[in-house]
Amino acid sequence: MNPAPLLVVHPGTHGVAMYARDMASAVRAARPSIRTIDAADLETAPGDAPLHVHFTDRLWGDSPEEAASAFGALAARRAVSVTLHDVPQASDGERNLPRRRAAYAAVAAAARGVAVNSEHERALLREEAVWSGPAVSIPLPVDLETGAPRMPADGSVGVLGYFYPGKGHDEAARAAANAGIGRMTILGRASAGHAAELEEFVRRAGALGVDVEVTGWLDDAEIARRGRAVSVPVIAHRHVSASGSLASWIGWGRRPVAVRNRYMDEMATLRPGTLLTVDEPDLAVAVRQAFELPESTWHGLTRLPMAWPEAAEGYVRWWGGLAW
């Protein structure tokens, strides 16, 4: 078997950076001989050591072009495999889609191996002319908290994660209003550069009769506690790559109402009973039904497919077959 790569990790609270660190910990728990290295310390790494990185353009540069250039410079010096996150798609818009598509295509072409987190994303690579070569799909794992207590329902519709356009907040607010629910909780804060848009959203929701609470940043224990307290978890993304929010809801025991798309259908098949998928026109009705039947918003399962150890072993097997 080929040698496993050094796992490159980034500091900070960006979702992909946090996921990369968590995955590196899971891999090292399975294979203690595999090492991690901070992105800032790559010049100190052994010159012949292959690397594995997690790539999303916002983590690697201030623009798609800068991010692709940074990855390309690294791949020119070392053998690198990559997990692609936030795969380009139509919801990026007419201006950003061509730029992101070109950036991701350059990254995939320069890598020794390409991974994504869903079959949906693997299809997007082909559909968006990013990459037509081999790619492995290793789904986002779920860390199921089986012993955590259920919280009293707080009367709100909840949306989890950073706020940014396309995350589904407007859809959730309209569904809440149409369902006669006057409270909404955003578990998180604005993504970088989107604070003003978050303020505008709060005003729009208010005009619909929905009072929005923005929790801001919460530590792991508190966001889990608040996530278990919202009355109806909702996922209504327009921009869908792979959803860490969905994994978190399921890990907390919740069964969110999710607007149906190819990714949500894939996850419903992977983990039956853990989410309710509905077409967008039916979202308000589903939210109202969930509000009136609180038990339906909990999946009640004690074991789930694709936990962290399984995902880690998936990476180890994949690396073993790459041509470094």
Give the model's pLDDT for residue 183. 98
Contacts of residues 71-78 at CB distance under 8 Å and 24 or more positions apart, as own/partner, are: 71/106, 71/107, 71/110, 72/106, 72/107, 72/110, 74/42, 75/107, 75/110, 75/111, 76/110, 78/45, 78/47, 78/49, 78/50, 78/51
Give the model's pLDDT for residue 298. 97
**Tens digit of each residue's pLDDT (9 = 90 or more) over 52-97:** 999 999 999 999 999 999 999 999 999 999 999 999 998 888 899 9
Is the distance from CB of 61 to CB of 14 less than 8 angstroms?
no
Instruction: Provide the 8-state DSSP code for 324.
Output: -
* Amino acid residing at 74: L
Q: What is the distance of C-alpha 232 from the center of its chain?
A: 20
Length of the chain: 324
Give the model's pLDDT for residue 254. 97
Per-residue pLDDT of the chain (324 residues; tens, 9 = 90+): 567 899 999 999 888 999 999 999 999 999 999 999 999 999 888 878 999 999 999 999 999 999 999 999 999 999 999 999 999 998 888 899 999 999 999 999 999 999 999 999 999 999 999 999 999 999 999 989 888 888 899 999 999 988 877 789 999 999 999 999 999 999 999 887 889 999 999 999 999 999 999 999 999 999 999 999 999 999 998 767 778 899 999 999 999 999 999 999 999 999 999 999 999 999 999 999 999 999 999 999 999 999 999 999 999 999 999 989
- Cα angle for residues 169, 175, 177 (degrees, 5° grid): 105
Q: 290 in helix, strand or coil?
A: helix
Give the model's pLDDT for residue 1. 55
Give the model's pLDDT for residue 121. 96
Is the distance from CB of 186 to CB of 223 less than 8 angstroms?
no
On the CB side of 85, how many CA atoms lie within 13 Å of its CA? 19
User: What does the alpha-carbon distance between residue 132 and residue 278 come to, in Å, rounded to a whole number?
Assistant: 31
**Tens digit of each residue's pLDDT (9 = 90 or more) over 273-315:** 999 999 999 999 999 999 999 999 999 999 999 999 999 999 9
Is the distance from CB of 166 to CB of 237 less than 8 angstroms?
yes
Closest CA to 256 of 226, 216, 289, 296: 296
Cα–Cα separations (whole angstroms), residue 125 to 241, 247, 265: 11, 22, 18
pTM across the whole model: 0.91
Q: Exposure string (b/e) for 284-320, b if CB count within 10 Å is 16 or more?
A: bebbbbbbeeeeebebebeebebebeebbebbeeebe
